[in-house]
Chain A
Amino acid sequence: MAEQKEHQNGIPRIGFYICHCGSNIASIIDVEDVRKYVATLPGVVVSRDYKYMCSDPGQELIAQDIREHKLERLVVSACSPNLHEETFRNAAAKGGLNSFYFQMVNIREHASWVHEDKAAATRKAKDLARAAVYRVRFHQALEKRKVPVDPNVLVVGGGIAGIHAALTLANAGKKVTLVEREATIGGHMALFDKTFPTMDCAACILTPKMSAVKSHPNITLWTYSEVEKVEGYVGNYKVSVKRKPRYVNEDLCVGCMACIDACVFKEPKFPDKFNQGLGKRKPVYIDFPQATPKVVLIDPATCIQMKTGKCKKSCADACDRKAFDFNQQPELKEIQVGTIVLATGFKTYDAKRDALYGYGRYPGVFTALEIERLVNASGPTLGDVVLRDGRHPKAVGIIHCVGSRDEKTNKWCSRVCCMYSLKLAHLIKEHSGAEVYNFYIDMRTPGKGYEEFYDKLLAEGVHFIRGRVAEVTDWAMTPEEQGKLVLRVEDTLAGFVRRIPVDMVVLATGMEAQADAGEVRHKFNIGCGSEGFFQERHPKLAPVNTFTDGIFIAGACQGPRDIPDTVAQAGAAAAEALVLIDAGHVELEPNTAHVVEEECCGCKSCVPLCPYSAITLDEAKKKAVINEVLCKGCGTCVAACPSGSIRQNLFEDDEIFSEIEGVLAQ
């Protein structure tokens, strides 16, 4: 349906279109009423409603009207501009109108989806449409800016996600810098002995990829390094990276480890972080034999030379290549890249937060990551499953959902714990012969071969008790419970409360956002959800994109996921980066600020305010000059200019004042 009328003097000819969005909008908002109302507004010569404006016929309708009715401005009331602004800008162009003679009104996310009162929602839709109609008449013809995309890529995080993304991009011929905060790449996967459900050796599938990263001609690997600052915009990012001192020259060290043998500490003495504190290391160390790069480093907190300056430095003497440098300083490097893949991973839930499970209080309680190291052939016990006092456990209880699916801590399901608990149950049984009990809420095994793996474990005689464990206690009620840890649990299948005595308790801790995820997301200017994981641009259709163009996310920094999903996502993020690189250029919104020279008094108020250093003073003319390429359109200078001589495209005063007038008019 449509209303049409003749041209009104002085006001550009405006076409108005309101979308039903199936029933998404039309079930709450009376679109016909809005259409008829907008037709009465000054300047509107065509007013239509249509079931799906974004469809091909919907777009064609607009293009045709522009030609037939000589439309000069266009307003579409539909969904969020995030989804379809581009669609309707293109429709305008197809009809021969400048894309920026268009204004979009969001009556779905801003009205129909959030209101129940139909009359009020319809009134709001009219108000918003009127604001846009008033605004659009002042719109100006603009052109998008085309800027080239730097083909180099930064990948942040060297876990399996970062490794896979870096290799994919490097294999496509792009230069990649991979920045990892720890001393070696490999991430959490390097801690694992086996991977579920195939039980293939984690190191056997991971370490070849780690070596490939190190030797790839297109990859620059910076471990023990962190991104300090990110400036610029899609296609043109300037990134500062801090390389922390290892006190060993990375270019000279070949990883022979003679220095570790020669250290004045004859025996390893300090908790080994890589082994979750279960093993010991010396002040000069390497995380594990396949660490990449295979370069030792010094822990300044425990090294006598670093602490006192008074050590005979037998490590340095043992080094043929003279790689030791106790005076090494942090180094700040700057790189230029066009796109960035963030693969900063996750941290595991702090088991101490569940006081009832006794982690940190009872030595028999372990986290799953600790068990990963205990069952690992290259772990601190070479794969022997032993308690902290050296005894071998005869019975082991694995508690699922610790820090997951819990109103009091984390509400989300961490997706991997059921499967890794099955894996650990199998390995513990295999390595120690112990009876293993799994305490679960629901078994979640959605994945290729996952349910079959669960079946296999059932057949192996691992016990499964459905119920959330209430507490772990050393309070013995019977002689059999003496000296044991007792798990008190309501067995919801049997329908009564049970007490299961065991020697070892394993807490299947869930996945959380990294402790500094908030800081990192500010650095890269991306969003995060309420749980702290990085926010994807669209949960279904843009899962590796962010709201900042040119920055992509992969792996568990976006939410809990297992290795197959992480690798798939890393590949997707690399492909998205390649799209930008191979297109060669990006189009930027023409929303930049510009100085009206005759009105500028050269006071320089704006210069220090610009967060992007885009403003300079032309000393000869004594006028401010804005570099359009650097300007990101934040509007700070526009608001601050005392003489009002800075204007901004798409946000001109008359556009905004007229919009305000429109929304307030009756």
Chain B
Amino acid sequence: MKYLYFPGCSLKGTGKAYEESLLAVFGALGVELQELEDWNCCGATAYMSVDETKSYALAGRILALAERERLDVVAPCSACYLVLNKTQKSLQEHPELHRKVTGALQAAGLDYKGTVKVRHPLDVLMNDVGLDAIKQKITSPMAGHKFAPYYGCQIVRPYATFDDQHNPVTMDQILQASGAECVEYPHKTRCCGGSLTGTVPEVGLRLAYILIKEAKQRGAEAIVTVCPLCQFNLDGYQDAIAKKYERVDLPILYFTQILGLALGLPAADLGFKRGIISAEAVLAGR
């Protein structure tokens, strides 16, 4: 099993723990990730609102590079995953846009026919690797641990490619396969505050606070997420939340970190030290 890996900026920066744990987990499961050569910014969601066509060309370049390799692209960051899927769909639906974007690509010696499949790590683990294969490799199950599975908005909306738009369950099943328990969490896909945490902090902080408080109230010892921005928002602002509301102190982890522990990988290889809120309780006895 081999895929192209498109890290995007987050996994090389604030989401380094995601990259480290993702590569370790995929390695342990025998899935090869080949980093896309000469990749560029996906444009995230912000550039779309500045210049749509150019942002499509930006994402189009990534797809064009990937098409030459004839492999599915794994995009772990939710923003990258959304933008690449959106570009795929827009290019298919709007021939005029497709002409403009391929024109730009051809000027750079590239071309895009539209054959690339953009995949999320959850999708690959669930549908290509399979729960049974994962379960067979679990050596130190996370028994006794309780987590709140938090998906964020971008991997299921607007395109629900591999899970339900409002009540996704893929991560729940993977965490359960690792031996952990998932609390019934009604905010699975509710907004984390997104960029509001930076622009309108009083709104952004409240949204983050709602998510953390509810997870805590339901007995979760950590929120487990798939999105670097969600992780950043929820992990990085708990001091500000404490000043405005109350102390919450809840670790915010990537699902790959939990799965990595269950697969018996050393915590040091899974980026646990990179979190702001300590995950000591999760690591206790490991």
Q: Mark B127-170, 1 if CB is under 8 A from A, else 0.
A: 00000000000000000000000000000000000001111000
A433–B219 Cα gap in the complex (Å)? 35
Q: In the complex, what residues of A have CB within 8 A of residue B166's CB?
A: 355-356, 471
A356–B186 Cα gap in the complex (Å)? 9
Inter-chain contact A355/B184, CB cutoff 8 Å: no
Q: In the complex, what residues of A have CB within 8 A of residue B187's CB?
A: 475
A660–B82 Cα gap in the complex (Å)? 53
Inter-chain contact A361/B165, CB cutoff 8 Å: no
Q: Is A195 an interface residue when CB atoms closer than 8 A count as contact?
A: no
* Chain A contact patch, size range: under 10
A473–B218 Cα gap in the complex (Å)? 14
Q: Mark A229-246, 1 if CB is under 8 A from B, else 0.
A: 000000000000000000
Q: Is B214 an interface residue when CB atoms closer than 8 A count as contact?
A: yes
CB distance from B158 to the nearest CB of A (A): 11
Inter-chain contact B164/A355, CB cutoff 8 Å: yes
* A356-B214 in contact given A473-B186, A474-B186 (Cβ < 8 Å): no
Q: In the complex, what residues of B have CB within 8 A of residue A355's CB?
A: 164-167
Inter-chain contact B164/A475, CB cutoff 8 Å: no
B side interface size, CB within 8 A? 8
Q: In the complex, what residues of A have CB within 8 A of residue B184's CB?
A: 361, 474
CB distance from B79 to the nearest CB of A (A): 23
Q: In the complex, what residues of A have CB within 8 A of residue B167's CB?
A: 355-356, 361
Which of A355, A471, A473 lies at the interface centre, i.e. has the most chain B CB atoms within 10 A of its CB?
Answer: A355
Which of A356, A361, A475 lies at the interface centre, i.e. has the most chain B CB atoms within 10 A of its CB?
Answer: A475
Q: In the complex, what residues of A have CB within 8 A of residue B164's CB?
A: 355
Q: Mark B81-122, 1 if CB is under 8 A from A, else 0.
A: 000000000000000000000000000000000000000000
CB distance from B38 to the nearest CB of A (A): 40
Inter-chain contact A475/B165, CB cutoff 8 Å: no
A355–B164 Cα gap in the complex (Å)? 8
CB distance from A408 to the nearest CB of B (A): 9
Q: Specify the main secondary structure of chain B where it touches its partner.
A: loop
Q: Mark B158-194, 1 if CB is under 8 A from A, else 0.
A: 0000001111000000000000000010110000000
Q: In the complex, what residues of A have CB within 8 A of residue B165's CB?
A: 355
Chain A residue with minimal CB distance to B167?
Answer: A355
The residues in A between 447 and 473 inclusive whose CB is less than 8 angstroms from any CB of B are 471, 473
A475–B186 Cα gap in the complex (Å)? 6
CB distance from B123 to the nearest CB of A (A): 18
Q: Mark A330-360, 1 if CB is under 8 A from B, else 0.
A: 0000000000000000000000000110000
A362–B98 Cα gap in the complex (Å)? 45
A361–B167 Cα gap in the complex (Å)? 10
CB distance from B216 to the nearest CB of A (A): 13
Chain A residue with minimal CB distance to B217?
Answer: A476
A412–B36 Cα gap in the complex (Å)? 47
Chain B residue with minimal CB distance to A356?
Answer: B166
Q: In the complex, what residues of A have CB within 8 A of residue B214's CB?
A: 475
CB distance from A64 to the nearest CB of B (A): 57
A471–B165 Cα gap in the complex (Å)? 13
CB distance from A399 to the nearest CB of B (A): 15
A474–B186 Cα gap in the complex (Å)? 7
Chain B residue with minimal CB distance to A362?
Answer: B184
Chain A residue with minimal CB distance to B188?
Answer: A355
Chain A residue with minimal CB distance to B165?
Answer: A355
A473–B190 Cα gap in the complex (Å)? 12
A356–B166 Cα gap in the complex (Å)? 6
CB distance from B159 to the nearest CB of A (A): 13
Q: In the complex, what residues of A have CB within 8 A of residue B186's CB?
A: 473-475
CB distance from B213 to the nearest CB of A (A): 10
A473–B187 Cα gap in the complex (Å)? 9
A361–B184 Cα gap in the complex (Å)? 9
Q: In the complex, what residues of B have CB within 8 A of residue A474's CB?
A: 184, 186
Q: Mark A469-494, 1 if CB is under 8 A from B, else 0.
A: 00101110000000000000000000
Which of B164, B167, B187 lies at the interface centre, i.e. has the most chain A CB atoms within 10 A of its CB?
Answer: B167
CB distance from B161 to the nearest CB of A (A): 16
CB distance from B146 to the nearest CB of A (A): 17
CB distance from A389 to the nearest CB of B (A): 15
Chain A residue with minimal CB distance to B190?
Answer: A475
Q: In the complex, what residues of B have CB within 8 A of residue A473's CB?
A: 186
Which of B184, B186, B187, B214 lies at the interface centre, i.e. has the most chain A CB atoms within 10 A of its CB?
Answer: B186
Chain B residue with minimal CB distance to A355?
Answer: B167
The residues in B between 259 and 278 inclusive whose CB is less than 8 angstroms from any CB of A are none
A471–B186 Cα gap in the complex (Å)? 10
CB distance from B275 to the nearest CB of A (A): 25
A356–B164 Cα gap in the complex (Å)? 10
Chain B residue with minimal CB distance to A471?
Answer: B166
Chain A residue with minimal CB distance to B214?
Answer: A475
CB distance from A547 to the nearest CB of B (A): 35
Chain A residue with minimal CB distance to B164?
Answer: A355
CB distance from A192 to the nearest CB of B (A): 31
A361–B164 Cα gap in the complex (Å)? 14
CB distance from B186 to the nearest CB of A (A): 4
A471–B189 Cα gap in the complex (Å)? 12
A462–B164 Cα gap in the complex (Å)? 34
Chain B residue with minimal CB distance to A474?
Answer: B186
Q: In the complex, what residues of B have CB within 8 A of residue A475's CB?
A: 186-187, 214
A356–B168 Cα gap in the complex (Å)? 11
Chain B residue with minimal CB distance to A360?
Answer: B167
A473–B189 Cα gap in the complex (Å)? 13
Q: Mark B187-205, 1 if CB is under 8 A from A, else 0.
A: 1000000000000000000
Chain B residue with minimal CB distance to A475?
Answer: B186
CB distance from B283 to the nearest CB of A (A): 29
A474–B217 Cα gap in the complex (Å)? 12
Chain B residue with minimal CB distance to A486?
Answer: B186
Q: List 6 additional contacts besides A361-B184, A474-B184, A475-B187; criterion CB under 8 Å.
A: A355-B164, A355-B166, A355-B167, A356-B166, A473-B186, A474-B186
Q: Which residues of B contact A (CB under 8 A)?
A: 164-167, 184, 186-187, 214
Listed A/B pairs (15) with beta-carbon separation below 8 Å: A355-B164, A355-B165, A355-B166, A355-B167, A356-B166, A356-B167, A361-B167, A361-B184, A471-B166, A473-B186, A474-B184, A474-B186, A475-B186, A475-B187, A475-B214
8 interchain residue pairs of minimum CB distance: A355-B167, A355-B166, A475-B186, A473-B186, A356-B166, A355-B164, A475-B214, A474-B186
